[in-house]
Amino acid sequence: MLSSSIAPVITIDGPTASGKGTVSSLVAEQLGWTVLDSGALYRLTALVAVRAEVDTTNQQALAALARQLNVCFKQGACWLDGENVTEALRAERVGVLASQIATYEPVRTALLARQRDFLQAPGLVADGRDMGTVVFPTAPLKIYLVADAQSRAQRRYKQLIEKGISANLSDLLADLQARDLRDTTRALAPLKAADDAITLDSSALSIEETVNCVLAHWAAIQN
Ligand code: C5P
């Protein structure tokens, strides 16, 4: 089927700020594979909707935007119509809107095929919420990456402060918990571990340890 016939996929799903993005990029780099940041597609749709002043409750209009995104990922950056929007995508309000529009069925359907199009040899590391459950259900390795909310809020706080962006730890924690709640309780493709996923708790692990753990699981499958 899809994931095994074209190229292998490692899916890395988990809640916001669990380190999925960094871990996925480093695992992909080590294996020489492509990486899919599926959350960026939801964030891009949200960003384009705000910029085009599209009604963010109009599900069909948002799905049309999602289908038409002229996006390209290269050199660790995300380009929309030739503009580097990497920073713009990280804005908290874009993340919050992305999580809202991710509950709309037409938007998820519009992005499904686009996500599968990222699959190419020699392999793909797919980072998101429903990579193992919906987008690549036959992936040979599925990781469900978790970390306690306090650790995740602290990581995000540190990232923002390092970038010179002011932040408030308790606001970040509250936002992250609200997003977790919305992602896990939505009717469509809720955030959850696939039945055959390996749950990895990174609360007390460094990025390097987490990456090595994923690579060890991948190596174990090969033997
Ligand atoms: O991972 P990131 O925080 O960039 O994702 C933004 C939002 O997009 C998430 O809060 C989630 O609601 C949504 N999303 C999703 N399915 C995915 C990836 C992201 O619903 N596969």
pLDDT at 179 over 70: yes
For residue 221, the model assigns a pLDDT of 93
115 neighbors 36 (Cβ within 8 angstroms): yes
Domain ranges of the chain: 9-213
**Measured distance CA(198)–CA(110) in Å, rounded:** 28
For residue 5, the model assigns a pLDDT of 64
**Measured distance CA(24)–CA(11) in Å, rounded:** 9
Our answer on whether the CB atom of 38 is closer than 6 Å to any ligand 1 atom is yes
For residue 3, the model assigns a pLDDT of 46
Residue whose Cα lies nearest atom 18 of ligand 1: it is 39
Q: In which residue are the tokens 């988990």 written?
A: 14
What's the full length of the chain, in residues? Answer: 223
Residue whose Cα lies nearest atom 20 of ligand 1: it is 102
Distance 223 CA to ligand 1 centre (A): 33
Q: Retrieve residue 212's tokens.
A: 């090595």
Of 163 and 77, the one with more pLDDT: 77
Which atom from ligand 1 is nearest to the alpha carbon of 131?
21
pLDDT in tens, 121-176: 999 999 999 999 999 999 999 999 999 999 999 998 998 899 888 899 999 999 89
pLDDT at 96 over 90: no
Q: Can you name the CATH fold of 9-213? A: Rossmann fold (3.40.50)
Which atom from ligand 1 is nearest to the alpha carbon of 182?
12
Q: Retrieve residue 143's tokens.
A: 């990781």
The stretch 95-101 carries a mean pLDDT of 91
Our answer on whether the CB atom of 102 is closer than 6 Å to any ligand 1 atom is yes
Give the CA radius of gyration of the chain.
Answer: 17
